[in-house]
Amino acid sequence: MVLKIPLGIKMHKINLLFDSLKGAYAPNTIRSYRSDYMHYSNWCQEYQYDPLNIHENKFSDYILQMGESLTVATIQRRVASLSSIFNLTKSTNPTKEPVVILTFKKLRRKFGRP
């Protein structure tokens, strides 16, 4: 049996995380983390994925979809932000998985380095 955690509880956990970052991170960093997470969370919600427990193949799909409209530098920043969030919430970090690393390398080769 899989226990689904309601979206509201997950958002509460994320908001607590962002509140706890105050004083440890610059306000602009927290603002970027929040913005990047909300973009990612909305994408996950669209496809009914759990943002804090996503398979690396699905995360690669997210990167590829961003590649259709964003610069490599923006994608790189978003992935770095999300990696920090995964680590700070003690969630599985798909950004370190080989398939994600290779997907990102393919984007860089296709569109150039930031």
The string of DSSP letters for 86-102 reads HHHTT---GGGSHHHHH
User: Does residue 61 fall inside a structural domain?
Assistant: yes
User: Does residue 12 fall inside a structural domain?
Assistant: no
| pLDDT number for residue 13 | 82
pLDDT tens digits for range 97-114? 999 999 999 998 887 755
Q: Which of 91, 35, 99 is nearest to 83 (CA)?
A: 91
User: Does residue 52 fall inside a structural domain?
Assistant: yes
User: Does residue 37 fall inside a structural domain?
Assistant: yes
1/11 Cα distance (integer angstroms): 23
36/77 Cα distance (integer angstroms): 9
Domain residue limits at 69: 28-111
CATH number at residue 68: 1.10.150.130
Model confidence, pTM? 0.87
| pLDDT number for residue 4 | 45
Domain count, the chain: 1
User: Does residue 94 fall inside a structural domain?
Assistant: yes
User: Does residue 65 fall inside a structural domain?
Assistant: yes
Q: How far is CA 101 from the centre of its chain?
A: 14
Low-confidence ranges of the chain (pLDDT < 50): 1-5
Cβ contact 33:85 at 8 Å = yes
